[in-house]
């Protein structure tokens, strides 16, 4: 029995360490605080493009907390271009949750992931503006 517990402990530490390392890398790659509100559900890479699929976590809007809101699925996917990595274009495919209030009204959290009037992440848009003026 002791041997099985020790094997499990080693396996758990190996998985946990991989998860922490992966989370740290994603924090460096993704725009600020994205992982606080979204989880990576899929990624896809080709020779010239990286696609990262993000779904909003099951966290109701703060202003409606405690009012019995129900998650009613996701909005359509929004595609946001971010900084290129290793010569590849990077696209974030973001799905936000919709919430139904007891009154029947549907609401969602407010996030500002892209720069106003663009499909670029805020950081990437600022970078381009600095270069292109």
Distance CA 87, CA 35 (A): 24
Predicted local confidence at residue 125, as pLDDT: 57
Structural domain count of the chain: 2
Q: What is the pLDDT of residues 47-77, one digit of tens each?
A: 999 999 999 898 888 787 777 888 889 989 9
pTM over 0.85: no
Same domain, 67 and 39: yes
Residues 40, 14 within the same domain:
no
Q: What is the pLDDT of residues 71-125, one digit of tens each?
A: 889 989 989 888 888 899 989 898 989 989 888 888 887 766 655 655 556 665 5
pLDDT at 15 over 70: no
Taking the chain, what is the end-to-end CA distance rounded to the nearest angstrom? Answer: 67
User: Residue 93: which domain range?
Assistant: 31-132
| Whether 20 and 64 share a structural domain | no
């Amino acid at each position: 029995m002791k041997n099985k517990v020790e094997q499990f402990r080693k396996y758990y530490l190996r998985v946990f360490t991989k998860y922490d390392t992966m989370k740290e890398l994603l924090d460096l790659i993704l725009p600020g605080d994205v992982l606080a509100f979204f989880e990576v559900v899929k990624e896809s890479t080709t020779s010239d493009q990286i696609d990262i699929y993000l779904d909003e976590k099951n966290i109701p809007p703060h202003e409606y907390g405690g009012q019995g809101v129900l998650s009613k699925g996701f909005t359509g996917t929004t595609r946001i271009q971010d900084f290129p990595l290793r010569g590849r274009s990077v696209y974030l495919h973001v799905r936000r949750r919709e919430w139904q209030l007891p009154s029947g009204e549907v609401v969602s959290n407010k996030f500002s992931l892209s720069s106003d009037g663009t499909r670029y992440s805020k950081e990437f848009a600022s970078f381009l503006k600095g270069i292109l003026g």
